[in-house]
Structure 1
C-alpha cells in the first residue's frame, strides 16, 4: 500500500476556483481502479490550507492517478492558486490496521 499526505496553501482570492478543482479531483480519484481512499479537508486553523489523504493499492495505481485528466487539470492550474509551497509526503507500507479508541 502507498499513502500520500499533501498540503496545499491556497491564496484566499483563488479559494473558490481551488474548491471546484479539488471537488472534481477528489470525486473522480475515488472512482479510479487501485485507489483505496482519497480525501481532502480544509485545515481547522487555516481554511485556505487543504490537506490531501490518499491511499493506493500499489505504485502502479499511484502512477496511473498522476496520468488522469482530472489530476493533470488540477496540477496545471495549481501554481496560480498557491499562496506558498506545497508539501507532499509518501509512505510505503505492507499493511495497515485500525486503532481501537
Structure 2
C-alpha cells in the first residue's frame, strides 16, 4: 500500500474556494480504481492548512491518479488559492494493523 500525505497552505481569503475544490477532487478520486481511501482534513491549529491523506493499492494507482484529468484540473485551479508551496509526502507501507 502507498500512503500520500499532502499539506496545502491556503490564503485565508481563498479558504472556502480551496475547500470546495479539494472536496470535489476527493469525491472524484475515491471513484478511481486502486484508490483505497482519499480524505481531506483541515488543521485545527492552523485553519489555513488543508491536509489530504490518500491510500493507494500500488504505483499504478498513484500514476493513474496523478495523470487523471480531474487531478490536473485541480492543480490548475488550486494554484490561485495557495499561500505557499504545497508539500507532498509518500509512505510505502508493508502492512497495516488496527491498534484500537
Using structure 2 for the length normalisation, give the TM-score: 0.93
Q: State how far apart, in whole Å, the 2-side matches of 1:67 and 1:85 are.
A: 20
1:49 aligns with 2:64: no
In structure 2, the residue matched to 1:84 is: 84
How far did 1:79 drift?
Answer: 2.3
Q: What's the counterpart of residue 13 of structure 2? A: 13
Take 2:69 and 2:12, find their aligned partners in 1: how far apart are those partners?
25
Query: For 2:70 and 2:11, how far apart are their aligned partners in 1?
Result: 21
Aligned length: 100
1:39 aligns with 2:39: yes
Deviation per CA, 1:6-34: give whole Å up to 9, x if none.
10010011112212211110011111110
Q: Match of 2:88, SS?
A: strand
2:60 aligns with 60
SS of the aligned residue for 2:85 comes to coil
5+ residue gaps, structure 2: none
